[in-house]
Structure 1
Amino acid sequence: MAHIIREAMSDTHDLDPANIPDQYRYQNVYGRGTVHCGACFHSWSSYISWITVDLKKCRLARRFQQKCQSCETANTPYFKTEELERMIKLTIARVISLMNGTYDNTGTDDLNDTQLDAPHDSDRCEKCEYGEGRPCYE
């Protein structure tokens, strides 16, 4: 993971992790993840699978879990390398615009049309606090 983040920082914006202000260090971003339930072996994909990226340490700080529709067991999503690269690039672009004072929080900076139309099961999403909190995509 660290090499993906460092490469995206240097290729895209020539950004040094040491120069990222602490308030922008941790960034949440979502993308298409695949989840495999270890309890019942059910598998599914979600266009709204969340991660938290630590840009100072160039690491994945957290992957938010989703509960299985079949057995309600919480499971961690996995991401293809290309999807992680896309998510990291979005994150870095967001931090650059935050640092420059040009960030426009429309709420959809990391969504595409397919993701906007995809259903999201807030009751089984850890980021949505399993239906008890605000929907994670708002």
Structure 2
Amino acid sequence: MRYILSLLTVSALAVLLACQVASTANTTVSNSGNKTTQAQNSPPQTADKSHDADHSAEAEAPRITLADAKKDFDGGNVVFVDTRAEVAYKNEHVKGSINMPMEGFEARYKEIPTDKKIIAYCS
């Protein structure tokens, strides 16, 4: 169990790190101030599991499509972890998600249920 929690922590931290360095090149702001994201020409990429173990955890963090996340949400078999600041979370978030900003993650990661798939997001 301790190994699983450690692995979960490393994976979540990798996702959080990836969120902080993610490019916003495909995000625009409309005249009304609403953010929209342009569709990319290529499908989402998943982690390449063929790398050696000494590669960073960020490179190993799997990514899923929005359609897959929605399917899991509708099925009730997922926990969403919103890694943004509390202000952004209060503005809008996935219904039922847990707000856990990077700054306090190490102190709070045990609050994340382990009986469901965990999806961390930052935008």
Given the two structures, how large is their TM-score scaled by the length of structure 1? 0.22
Higher share of residues assigned strand: 1
Higher share of residues assigned helix: 2
